[in-house]
Amino acid sequence: MAQILITGGAGNVGSALAKKLSEKQSYQITIVDNLLTGSIVKVPKRDNVHFIDASVNIYKDISPVFYANKFDYVFHFAAVVGVKRTLDNPLWVLDDIKGFENILGLCKNTGVKKVFFSSSSEVYGEPVEFPQNEITTPLNSRLPYAIVKNVGEAFLKSYYERYGLDYTIFRFFNTYGPNQSEDFVIPKFIQLAQNNEPITIYGDGSQTRTFCYINDNIDTLVKILEDNLLSAQVVNVGNDVEVSVLELAKLVIKICNSDSEIIHLPALKEGDMTRRCPDISKMKSILGRELLDVETGMKKYLNSL
């Protein structure tokens, strides 16, 4: 039986991964989360899933978890997330660096075979080319969240070179689904539209994003794990169809048959990049099927509510 640790497993992607893996009794899954941004209701209630309320940034919290279990694989997803939250609480974000040190040191000392890390599209900063590929990382973002994700990637590469600790880095682009918190764009827009309340967007709404349905994300991650793919590599995980924020708001209003109006607020001073679009050639070759388009995905999301 493979022992798997998922830090941040009470969040959107972590809990969905735990749910998918727990379908197989050959996996024993331990979830560690301090519930700062996660929720206990998202944790799968299955015999092969064990939840521990702890912080990976506190060594005395996380070290007993490693020494009491012999983990084969670690998915390190614990992090402070959300543009506004990370801008409002930069010290929370910087504290996550302690988590890298704790997790990787404990992985090295307890014989973990491989670490999977949730990085972010934010490491690309304001992109210098489109689509954003895994090779080009301009490091031009001043946001603490982006800087810390870059630091995490550097930790993994250094531990691999020095100790041979294998890794795969997931650079997640916007992923949505039934368990996503309501302070992210798609759940927020849908909730407002369902209540016929105004939908607010920053600036003229021309900034583009791509949106990946949770199943496409998780199926990719599980295949990488089970087929032992992408040793010491980085992979973009997302969708490659750009949608402007204004187009997204209009689509939500249409799907929800809503009377919501769109209100434009002043553009954010920082953190709202003009374009986001990943090169997902690696992901597509691994997944081996078409990705869900955002309209179909949102309808699927609505049906799950």
158 and 183 in a single domain? The answer is no
Q: Check which CATH number belongs to the domain holding 6 and give it.
A: 3.40.50.720
Q: Which residues contact 45 (CB under 8 A, 6 or more apart)?
A: none
231 and 284 in a single domain? The answer is no
Q: How far apart are CA 112 and CA 244, in angstroms?
A: 41
pLDDT, tens digit, for every residue of 159-184? 999 999 999 999 999 999 988 887 78
103 and 186 in a single domain? The answer is no
Closest by CA to 189, choosing from 211, 167, 216, is 211
30 and 80 in a single domain? The answer is yes
170 and 191 in a single domain? The answer is no
Q: Which residues contact 66 (CB under 8 A, 6 or more apart)?
A: 5, 106, 107, 109, 110
24 and 129 in a single domain? The answer is yes
Final residue of a domain: which of 202, 237, 272?
A: 237
Q: Check which CATH number belongs to the domain holding 200 and give it.
A: 3.90.25.10
Closest by CA to 226, choosing from 73, 76, 13, 70, is 73
- Six token digits for residue 156: 């993994």
pLDDT, tens digit, for every residue of 126-152? 777 889 899 877 777 778 888 899 999
Quick one: pLDDT at residue 82?
66
Find the domain containing 12 and state its range: 2-174+212-237
Report, as residue numbers or ranges, the catalytic residues: 145
73 and 154 in a single domain? The answer is yes
DSSP string, 209-245: E--EEHHHHHHHHHHHHHTT--TTEEEEES----EEH
34 and 88 in a single domain? The answer is yes
169 and 249 in a single domain? The answer is no
Final residue of a domain: which of 237, 253, 287?
A: 237
29 and 140 in a single domain? The answer is yes
Q: How far apart are CA 179 and CA 182, in angstroms?
A: 9
User: Each residue's pLDDT tens digit in the chain (305 positions)?
Assistant: 999 999 999 999 999 999 999 999 999 999 999 998 889 999 999 999 999 999 999 999 999 999 999 999 999 999 987 666 777 877 888 899 999 999 999 999 999 999 999 999 988 887 778 898 998 777 777 788 888 999 999 999 999 999 999 999 999 999 999 888 877 899 999 999 999 999 999 999 999 999 999 999 999 999 999 999 999 999 999 999 999 999 999 999 999 999 999 999 988 766 567 888 999 999 999 999 999 999 999 999 988 87
Query: How many domains, the chain?
Result: 2
98 and 183 in a single domain? The answer is no
Is the pTM value of this prediction over 0.85?
Answer: yes
Whether 169 and 119 have beta carbons less than 8 Å apart is answered as: yes
14 and 159 in a single domain? The answer is yes
Q: How far apart are CA 93 and CA 148, in angstroms?
A: 7
